[in-house]
A = this chain, B = another copy of it.
Amino acid sequence: MKTKAHVLFSGGKDSSLSAILLEPFFDVHLVTCNFGILPTGPIAADIAREIGFPHQILKPDVSVLEEAAKTAQKDGFPNQAINDIHRHVLALLAKTDGVSVIADGLRRDDRVPHVPLPEIQSFESKNKVLYCSPLMGFGRATINKMIDSHLVITEEESAGMLKCDYEAELREYLSQDIGEEATHKLFPKSHKQSRVISRIRK
């Protein structure tokens, strides 16, 4: 019987590809983090069903998002805030019953979230879990090639599509707190987001 691997899942192409990469080796379960600010859970669940993996929602305390919002305002940009959320989510997932292998969709060229090697090693040994980032050895162009033959993707401006990631809820939380305009200034210019439509099966 294969070991279970819990893959953090935003409904985007990177976390979907991570799940597909692990599929021959693990019993893959997708996990979407939701703070109760946006209805990202059911959207992610639909995409998970479409690509053929079991899915669950992880609900960290909203205080994690509140703290991150303060950090983003203090810094003037969201990088550290997103890093902080990611660490909290990893720690919470590691403490969840039945979790022994955790994966995320981080890529070689990602700036955030970023987990340095000594922190990874201490996280694994402290929590007695294994942690991996299946895309860490791949650049954007290689990942796109791999996605092309396995997933059907739609790409739209961020504003037009709800992504099921930390940033979406952090933005929404800040918008409600400090207004849309002030929030807009904290985040990089709107860029194209991707969402997975379906899986190409051979």
A residues with CB within 8 A of B:
2-3, 20-21, 24-26, 101, 106, 108-109, 117, 120-121, 124, 130-139, 141-142, 145-146, 149-150
Query: Which 7 pairs between the two chains have the least Cβ-Cβ distance?
Result: A136-B137, A133-B137, A25-B146, A130-B142, A132-B138, A136-B136, A132-B142
The answer for the CA separation of A25 and B130 in the assembled complex, in Å, is 25
Structural contact, A108 and B117, CB atoms closer than 8 A: yes
Q: How many copies of the shown chain assemble into the complex?
A: 2
Q: Is the interface of A mostly helix, strand, loop or mixed?
A: loop
Chain B: CB-nearest residue to A106: B137
Known A-B contacts A132-B139, A137-B136, A139-B131; A145 and B108 likewise in contact (beta carbons under 8 Å): no
